[in-house]
Amino acid sequence: MSDLISQEEFTNRFTAEAIRLSGLDTFDDGTSVAEYCKDVAASYYDDPIFRDDGPEACAESDVSYWGEE
């Protein structure tokens, strides 16, 4: 990804993709997926390698671990 996007846009796109992929608004424990994504997307954004992968790829990777014990 050659164009730098803002952290806000990255977070919004990460959140939208995570919700789309998972079909969830909340986790089983009642935690909001959007709130979780807000926190997690920031850590992906702060790492240039992940940021370059793009928010959708990061969300796909993150969601792939949901539900694992």
- What is the residue range of 47's domain? 7-63
Phi and psi torsions of 26, nearest 5°: -140, 155
> Can you give the pLDDT of all 69 residues of the chain as single tens digits?
446 899 999 999 999 999 999 999 999 999 999 999 999 999 999 999 999 999 999 999 999 999 765
The single residue listed with the structure tokens 């949901």 is 66
In a domain, 13, yes or no: yes
Q: What is the pTM of this model?
A: 0.90
In a domain, 38, yes or no: yes
In a domain, 68, yes or no: no
Who's near 29: CB < 8 A, 6+ residues apart? none
In a domain, 46, yes or no: yes
In a domain, 31, yes or no: yes
Contact yes or no for 55/41 (Cβ under 8 A): yes
In a domain, 69, yes or no: no
